[in-house]
Amino acid sequence: MPASPAYRAWVLFVLFLVYVVNFVDRQILSSLVGPIRAELGASDFQMGLLGGLAFAVLYSIAGIPIARLADTGNRRNVVTFALAAWSALTALCGTATSYGQLLLYRIGVGIGEAGGSAPSHALVADYFPAAQRGRALALLATGIHVGIFVGLVTGSQFSEDWRDAFVVVGLPGLALALLVRFTVREPERGGTDAAPPPVEVPTFAETLRTLLRSPTVVLVLAGASVAALSGYAFAFWGYEFFARVHDLDRPTIGWSLGLATAVGGGLGTAAGGQLGDRLGLRDPRWYGFVCAAGMLATLPLGAAALYAESVPAALAFAAAFLFAGAVYAGPMYAILQGLAPARMRTMAAALLFLCTNLIGLGAGPPIVGALNPLLEPAAGRDAIRHSLAIVTALNLPVAVVFVAIGRRLGRVSPAPGAPEVPAAGSARTSRRA
């Protein structure tokens, strides 16, 4: 029996909260870079590793087996246990007395968070039909920006004792895990799709082979991964940018940059999902073209945010940059979930998060952390400006990739959500768009 609209909305709200907690626990570190670096004697590059590669590698590796477990088992339970685990480990970060100990706890947080996003995407895809999927996934993704806001504001209030910040943001996730367990039901797989899902569960090898033989899926993974570079770089180093370049105090940065992120990023994500679904209903190519338009807009807006001399102008352009950079999320998620067969949706999302986190989160913050000392002899405190600008310029080829994705969707997909990827064992030809 299909879920009622009210219950679907409740599930989306609860999973939105999971997303918020996910990014609060991930983002809290960026607002504590200064105090942690001073106390533990860490370099910019080490802090970039702490917020990037060290977190992303285990997050990405763990995501694949966890996704397989979710695709063959109960996704609600996977989200519940993962949320409880990463929340407890976030709180334990507050007990760290050395850089190495903090690094180990953050690796544990990354492993736990690997069980949150991908199963949540698959749950939403099975609760909402294809025509509403882009908007639903976009609303889910607004939790990213709300989480970043809460993380920035909370962290900025604990600059004197950074350990308390981890405890404060970690413990609420344990209560939320109980809410997920007792109020979210596991939906029928593929129940909102036009065609019923295959009863037979594909093997892990069949799932990977089926997904990766689609050139469009591969292009989505590539485009989203590079797009994540500038997004994660700014999310991690934006706080330090305003502290170093504009000499703002930490509480002011927390509130101002947090609001710019929540408003700009949240509205951009929602607008992208709405626009993608509206235009994509008439012509599926627009799912890719909307993503491309957002990426192109980040280029002038990012430059304006980084090189504005006044704080109000920098914050206003930062909000606009974050709006444009978030537009692609909803349509991109909808493309991928629409292409994946029902029994492969968690794995499709896990592959996406593997790529975006390993490349975007894993490389974005460390690249900026490595560029800063190289540019400082000539640029001084403006080094972080140039480092972030270099990473943002990569959004130009990303826009080209999304244009190519849109063109492929126009050739093979007669309607939003129509599967391009066949189920495992299908007799359809392996030549895909």
pLDDT of residue 200: 66
Using a cut of 0.85, tell me whether the model's pTM lies above it: no
Find, among 179, 139, 95, 101, the residue nearest to 277 by Cα.
139
Q: List the domain boundaries for the chain.
A: 5-412
pLDDT of residue 201: 66
pLDDT of residue 325: 94
pLDDT of residue 193: 54
252-258: average pLDDT: 89
List, for residues 118-169, the tens digit of each pLDDT value: 889 889 988 888 778 878 888 888 888 899 889 888 888 886 788 999 999 9
Q: Assess contact for 291 and 155: CB atoms under 8 A.
A: no
Of 1-10, 280-289, 365-374, minimum mean pLDDT range: 1-10
Q: Which CATH architecture has domain 5-412?
A: Up-down Bundle (1.20)
Sequence-ordered alpha helix ranges (H) in 94-214: 99-113, 117-127, 130-156, 162-170, 172-183, 204-212
pLDDT of residue 195: 52
pLDDT for 250 beyond 90: no
With bands split at pLDDT 50, 70 and 90, how would you rate the model's confidence at 371? very high
Burial class, 410, CB count within 10 angstroms (exposed 0-12 / middle 13-18 / buried 19+): middle
Residue-averaged pLDDT of the chain: 86
Find, among 244, 319, 236, 216, the residue nearest to 48 by Cα.
236
264-280: average pLDDT: 89
d(CA 309, CA 311): 7
